Amino acid sequence: MLLSTLTRKEKLKFLDLALHMVKVDGEPSTQETRLLNMMLAEVGENIITEYHFQLSDALEETIQFFDVLSEETQRIVYLNLIRISLFENFYNTAEHEFLETIRMRFHIKDDMKHELIQAVYQEKDLRDNIQKLIKGLWKK
């Protein structure tokens, strides 16, 4: 969500953080891989051709890259990391700790964190409702 607004370097660095996010609790699940591919498509074709899902060992350097960027960029990155963590409706401790580390480094306040989480749930609800509507299962 909103990844297309990032610069080329921000997109590449975000994908690195995203890969760390899905691997923090082991190998990515099929659903996580699907979400990563959707995010890769969102960042644009030019990024698709140059990015390969290989876990960088420069996590601290990647976080430092975002430390000095605008609040808006940091919130977009954090929002999309939340999307990854909530995609499977399974939120484990390792993912929580990773997100909290990022949140603290980006100086995202607790109330903003809750608003971003709420936005992710609203997006999920909208997608679910659209699927029900298309399948003819929508109840008014």
140 within a domain of the structure (yes/no): no
pLDDT digits (tens, 9 = 90+) for 94-113: 888 999 999 999 999 999 99
Check the CA dihedral 100-106-111-117 and report its sign.
negative
Quickly count helices (H) and strands (E) in the chain. 7, 0
Question: CA of 75: how far to CAs of 66, 78, 118, in Å?
Answer: 10, 5, 14
pLDDT digits (tens, 9 = 90+) for 64-74: 999 999 999 99
45 within a domain of the structure (yes/no): yes
Q: How many domains does the chain have?
A: 1
Radius of gyration over alpha carbons of the chain, in Å? 15
Question: CA of 2: how far to CAs of 62, 111, 113, 135, in Å?
Answer: 19, 20, 17, 28
67 within a domain of the structure (yes/no): yes
88 pLDDT above the threshold of 90:
no
Which CATH number goes with the domain that contains 13? 1.10.3680.10
44 within a domain of the structure (yes/no): yes
66 within a domain of the structure (yes/no): yes
Between the CA atoms of 118, 119, 124 and 127, what dihedral angle is there, to the nearest 10 degrees? 150
Domain coverage including residue 86: 3-135
79 within a domain of the structure (yes/no): yes
pLDDT digits (tens, 9 = 90+) for 29-83: 788 778 887 887 788 777 766 666 666 678 899 899 999 999 999 999 999 999 9
